[in-house]
Structure 1
């Protein structure tokens, strides 16, 4: 069981973002994530916002224990070979603490604003599959190599994306809950078996909010092992994170 935090890099100055990451690490969080967007989420797009991978490079230096990563990095926004090189570099800077989160993207207007092509859902999943293959190939050829086998997190809910998670992921992140979560987790297990892979090799990850005694217990029963609390700017209230960490520690 692990508890993570996603520090949304929006509506705050970078000093506040850095303080939130340091405070979360001091509390004992297992992983610290940001996200790969160019604007704040929600209807108001005008607030402050900072880029994903530049921030991760800074966190690699400003933190020292927790794993760090993007939840998740959109494969359409960077050449996959370059993304692998960026990941390897942050892996080294952080002393082997990077989680490489990968997703197909979902904000068409954001891609258009930055000049990226944004295909249909099926096309984006195909592109994610090709990107994952290129990333793994490039990671195997870089000099120096990563300090460890960089864990790949794949955000996936549809069957095609779940099959990619079964092939490439060490962590599967889902937005489903309840019976839908159990059904999709079962699909992932089936795809793993088809590929000759032990489903137990893939950690299950979900966003959480609310009472961990209720929400966490239900997700745990359905196989989730990483529980990610979201903290938003400008204040980055970590009260929810404290409750989930206390639940983790009491459970263990």
Structure 2
């Protein structure tokens, strides 16, 4: 069944900041913006997730500050910030600052965290999946309250993206706090997660149309693009990793986006 959705299709690109010199990351960000990407993401880890586990790597939020100055059009953000690594009030202030530096282009992507090596090496308590999600649930209202106290205030209502697919807890937090939900999986999985999210929205009194739906994609858009879009998903995010950032598939998705939006 096709879901009516008035949002245009958007393409995101996650530049994984691993195994590359920063000059290469900066060039990739500039090229992606020139190609027409809508949102440019990095990630919030301290070590590579693939390849040499001790390979080159760079920190998330200092990079976002640099991207805020180095880009002019794309929205920017982390896919996603690990809630465990920063005090919620500090994170809100960091986000507000990057929001101003970028001229109102920041998306605050956030999640509960999962990569145990980051926690062990940097001295954070890993806890359990349940405790990390509970911590995220406590942090989100604190971030919202801090936004309201900052001077100067954010340039806009900073969009909050929550990543994750836990059907009982994470998707309920999405219904309560998120402007964007980011998930993973094929068409069948996405359809089930959206159904669960819509039920949580009904339970908390939220219009599900207020939440943009995002999914990670790869391969050709002809494989699943239209099917995912017909579920009401409008943000399609690809990944590219260092040391060489290849954009062949990205160009296909950008062309598909333009064709899809042209039929609106």
Task: Give the alignment's TM-score, normalised by structure 1.
Answer: 0.98
The alignment status of 1:240 with 2:240, answered yes or no, reads no
The alignment status of 1:221 with 2:221, answered yes or no, reads no
1:99-149 CA-to-partner distances (Å, cap 9, x unmatched) read: 000001111122111100011111111000111111111011100000000
Q: Distance in 2 between matches of 1:121 and 1:135?
A: 21
Q: Distance in 1 between matches of 2:161 and 2:35?
A: 24
Q: How does 1:95-114 map to 2 (within 5 A)?
A: 95-114=103-122
Q: Distance in 2 between matches of 1:100 and 1:206?
A: 16
SS of structure 1 residue aligned to 2:90: helix
Q: How does 1:124-163 map to 2 (within 5 A)?
A: 124-158=132-166, 159-163=168-172
Partner of 2:90: 82
> Which among 192, 195, 201 is matched to residue 186 of structure 1?
195
Q: Distance in 2 between matches of 1:134 and 1:39?
A: 28
Q: Would you say the 8 A contact 1:4–1:227 is kept in 2?
A: yes
> Which among 46, 52, 56 is matched to residue 60 of structure 2?
52
> Which among 204, 213, 216 is matched to residue 204 of structure 1?
213
Partner of 2:6: none
Q: Would you say the 8 A contact 2:187–2:224 is kept in 1?
A: no
Q: Distance in 2 between matches of 1:11 and 1:22?
A: 18
Gaps of 5+ in 1: none
Q: Distance in 1 between matches of 2:225 and 2:75?
A: 21
Q: Distance in 1 between matches of 2:231 and 2:186?
A: 9
Q: Distance in 2 between matches of 1:176 and 1:84?
A: 30
SS of structure 2 residue aligned to 1:245: helix
Task: Give the alignment's TM-score, normalised by structure 2.
Answer: 0.93
Following superposition, the deviation at residue 239 of structure 1 comes to: 1.2
The alignment status of 1:15 with 2:8, answered yes or no, reads no
**How large is the RMSD of aligned CA atoms in angstroms?**
0.9
Following superposition, the deviation at residue 245 of structure 1 comes to: 0.3
Q: Distance in 2 between matches of 1:137 and 1:230?
A: 32
Q: Distance in 1 between matches of 2:28 and 2:189?
A: 33
Moved more, 43-52 or 114-123: 43-52
The alignment status of 1:2 with 2:31, answered yes or no, reads no
Q: Distance in 2 between matches of 1:27 and 1:43?
A: 27
Q: Distance in 2 between matches of 1:113 and 1:162?
A: 29
Moved more, 59-68 or 34-43: 34-43
Gaps of 5+ in 2: 1-8
